[in-house]
Structure 1
């Protein structure tokens, strides 16, 4: 705490000390405006109107927890990497007491069935070993009426660009924390039995992304 220069007798000024934060360590883009500390438009849209208990897969540096709206009473950040987890845990202890950072991954989210009002995946589904299994686990932890909020890579519409993305994907995966840019997250979400209720196409650094919301359809098992 001495390195941050925080007066231990006062609550930390999160706007002053924690900067813009990041979505994920393997995609270090900011979650907040560095001047105003307001959430970026993408992060604000991703979290809009959420309430209750929300689970987000991938903690980044923990600053993203400070972007959640006041209606969210508990934030569970699930992070598999021990170093990243401890970084986020330290940030949340100082600046966001309603958040807790826990170990876990897509294969076994560390919460009981039907516990969460929403699950947030921001540049995370691209890292799942098997997207179908990851979405099944997300579905398990969602309460009835719960939502999946996602912000992910989009598959290029141009066939040449799509082919290039597919060819570079194995190398990209090794260099960027398991990220697979050639996946089609929207198609995978629909295949897993979710209904996409909102979808927006965005561009970041000339790379296409999708931001949306989905709800589980009827269980046909």
Structure 2
């Protein structure tokens, strides 16, 4: 399934990229500095938008997706290296990255809570963490429609959960959310957070 999905992914995303997503990606990653980890880099749609990073490490479990990103790596303005591994067990030292980002990735990770724990582990204290994700809708009828569609959607879209409460998962992870921006009626959200130490997280009642 992964290899077949990789062949159609860019074509599926093209209308959204033209209408809004390309601009969102530029806002998400363009100003990030230092050593950046991208979780679930896929076919590398974010790669052309990095401008200020010293280096980007792209974590992607599917080799078929990574192979599709090679052209974008060669034309990127910053150094990018691919690491083939899952997000639930990242092969990096603690506090290795100045920033961590992910786009449309937490919906497909089998154990998102564990992946977020790994994000916190490998990101430096005070580091920037950003996600652009589709989320479970707040209104009952759209949310029920997401529930109804999810079993079919998972089969055709490589395990994607339409109804995952991604914002809630990030809130519960211990990351301190600084800003949430909604798109397409809040179906998609850009979530900007800071990786604060556990002792500060426990004391933060805001």
Aligned residue in 2 for 1:61: 43
Shift of residue 161, structure 1, vs aligned partner: 1.4
TM-superposition CA deviations, 1:11-56 (whole Å, max 9, x none): xxxxxxxxxxxxx65962479769xxxx832112211431001111
* Greater helix share, structure number: 2
Taking the aligned partners of 1:31 and 1:65, their CA distance within structure 2 comes to 17
Check the 8 A contact 2:177/2:191 in 1, yes or no. Answer: yes
Query: Are residue 141 (structure 1) and residue 126 (structure 2) matched?
Result: no
Taking the aligned partners of 1:180 and 1:83, their CA distance within structure 2 comes to 21
TM-superposition CA deviations, 1:150-169 (whole Å, max 9, x none): 00012222201111111211
Pick from 175, 178, 197: which aligns with 1:194? 175
SS of equivalent residue, structure 1 residue 60: coil
Normalised by the length of structure 1, the TM-score is: 0.77
Query: Are residue 125 (structure 1) and residue 106 (structure 2) matched?
Result: yes
Check the 8 A contact 1:59/1:79 in 2, yes or no. Answer: yes
Taking the aligned partners of 1:188 and 1:63, their CA distance within structure 2 comes to 24
Normalised by the length of structure 2, the TM-score is: 0.82
User: Which runs of 5 or more residues in structure 2 are unaligned?
Assistant: 1-8
Check 1:153–1:98 CA distance in 2 against 1; reply closer, same or farther (3 A cut).
same
Pick from 61, 73, 81: which aligns with 2:62? 81
Check the 8 A contact 2:125/2:197 in 1, yes or no. Answer: no
> What is the root-mean-square deviation of aligned Cα atoms in Å?
2.5
**Count, aligned residues:** 190
Aligned residue in 2 for 1:15: none
Check the 8 A contact 1:27/1:123 in 2, yes or no. Answer: no
Check 1:208–1:196 CA distance in 2 against 1; reply closer, same or farther (3 A cut).
same
Taking the aligned partners of 1:79 and 1:134, their CA distance within structure 2 comes to 13
Structure label with greater radius of gyration: 1
